[in-house]
Amino acid sequence: MQFKNFPFETILSWYKHKGRHHLPWREKQMPYHVWISEIFLQQTQVSRVEAYFARVIESFPTLEDFAKLEYNDFFPYYEWLWYYSRARNMLKTAKIIQEKYNGIFPNTYEELLLLPWIWPYTAQAILSFGYNKNILAFDTNIEKIFSRYYFGTRFKKLSQIQKEEIQKIFQTMRISWRDMNAALMDFSSLIDKNEISQIDFENYPLTESLFYQEKWKNEIKPVKTTQKFDKNEAEIVVFLHKDHKIYYSSDYDNFLPFELGQSREDHRHFIKDFFIQNYWLSISVRPAFKKLKKAGKTYFLYHAQIQAGKSQFWEFRKEDYTQYLENFY
């Protein structure tokens, strides 16, 4: 399929008046700032990241400062952002850049991809925002715009050849590539939203897109009926572990997870508060890996891992944990 030219100028014009120019990582778009913001923004809402980003940049204004940190030093600045493997890999990346590249981020796509936790999109973002290179930072949110424009639905994934064709169109534009990428990101988040019911079609600027012309009918999917669980009435069960190799038990003789009862608070916050208040342990908590009903009760099961502090619990093998789960289900 030969793509017609895409109306980049329309989105850029919208961005100049409606874009999120206040975001702190857009004030000084240096590679270090871009990298911090992009890693923090992975699977995390923009509103949450703003404060974390500001604290890190204020405390560690350069990559050289950041590269000197150890995990325990960085943890207080990162806590509550979850996904703690990201934090460890950020520290690895910073040390590599400091030692191998004299504290300067590589400015080629191939070199960036060799660094820990830098994926294709992250590399493209660093090149586009940090170095203002003519490359389109393709993530799922930006891909959605083009899928809707050319195919009428965000559920149509672009092939690599199609992405390359769009990249070629993008590179012919006589615009700020940095601003254009920011414009596409904001347009995806604020206008071209995932939920059709949240889109203001009366003021939708891409009126020539197939998505708009076909009245978004290709994106309407039948509603699936799923079993509903009342989170407020669920029993919270926590499996505390170390790298999924050692599992901590609340009982000496038998492996038992930690049963915390019910809570109307956010479960993950509740679990973290429970362990810090009762055992002086800072832990990371993953989303519930299992929700089930048993003997008239609802259970939410969580995995958690100690990030700081010393365990006071008994240790069991993974086989004990597996056997417990089998019996529990």
Q: Report, as residue numbers or ranges, the catalytic residues.
A: 38
Q: What are phi and psi of 284, to 5 degrees?
A: -105, 145
Q: How many CB atoms lie within 10 A of CB 40?
A: 23
Contact 146, 7 (CB under 8 A): no
CA dihedral 84, 86, 87, 88 (to 10 degrees): 90
How many CA atoms does the CB half-sphere of 143 hold within 13 Å?
A: 14
User: Where do runs of H (alpha helix) occur along 195-315?
Assistant: 210-213, 267-279
For residues 180 and 115, what is the distance between their CA atoms, to the nearest angstrom?
26
What residues contact residue 213 under an 8 Å CB cut-off, 6+ apart? 152, 207
For residues 159 and 218, what is the distance between their CA atoms, to the nearest angstrom?
19
For residues 273 and 283, what is the distance between their CA atoms, to the nearest angstrom?
9
Contact 284, 217 (CB under 8 A): no
For residues 166 and 42, what is the distance between their CA atoms, to the nearest angstrom?
24
Phi-psi region at 246: left, alpha or beta (left = phi > 0; alpha = psi -120 to 50): beta
Q: What are phi and psi of 258, to 5 degrees?
A: -100, 120
Contact 95, 67 (CB under 8 A): yes
